[in-house]
């Protein structure tokens, strides 16, 4: 994954996702200006590709992480709990961006489960 490729994807995604409904009236919003983080699911490229394939199958995308992972001392900035409404760029196993996701729901229990909505799906 290259920074240019993520940047180009973000330009397309924020336009197609219509993150600012009245840009000429309100001006740019933080939501459309700040590029969200890019990530791939899993430990291997195959796991990432399987996760991406769920988009085409219209399955609800979700991740689950043990809640204890968010309590690691010294990694507080890396392990903040997910926030509803946050955007992120999902990449495939080769590191290419494929979708803009919005965190739709977060459930906190023994595991932290994050549910996503696809805001924009790339062409490739």
Query: Can you give the residue range of the structural domain that contains 50?
Result: 3-121
Q: State the Cα–Cα distance between residues 42 and 58, nearest whole angstrom.
A: 19
CATH number, domain at 85? 3.10.400.10
Q: What is the rounded average pLDDT of the residues 46-67? A: 89
Cβ atoms of residues 32 and 13 within 8 Å? no
- CA-wise closest residue to 100 among 110, 90, 108, 92: 90
Please give the tally of structural domains in the chain.
Answer: 1
Q: Give the mean pLDDT of the chain.
A: 84
This prediction has a pTM of 0.83
Rg (CA), the chain: 15
């Amino acid at each position: 994954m290259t920074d240019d490729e993520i940047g180009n994807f973000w330009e397309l995604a924020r336009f197609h996702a219509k993150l600012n409904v009245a840009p000429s009236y309100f001006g740019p919003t933080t939501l459309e200006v700040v590029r969200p983080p890019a990530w791939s699911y899993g430990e291997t490229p195959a796991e990432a590709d399987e996760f991406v394939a769920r988009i085409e199958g219209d399955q609800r995308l979700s991740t689950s992480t043990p809640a204890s992972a968010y309590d690691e001392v010294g990694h507080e900035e890396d392990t903040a709990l997910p926030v509803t409404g946050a955007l992120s760029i999902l990449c495939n196993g080769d590191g290419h961006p494929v979708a803009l996701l919005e965190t739709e729901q977060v459930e906190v229990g023994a595991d932290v489960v994050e549910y996503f909505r696809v805001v924009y799906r790339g062409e490739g």
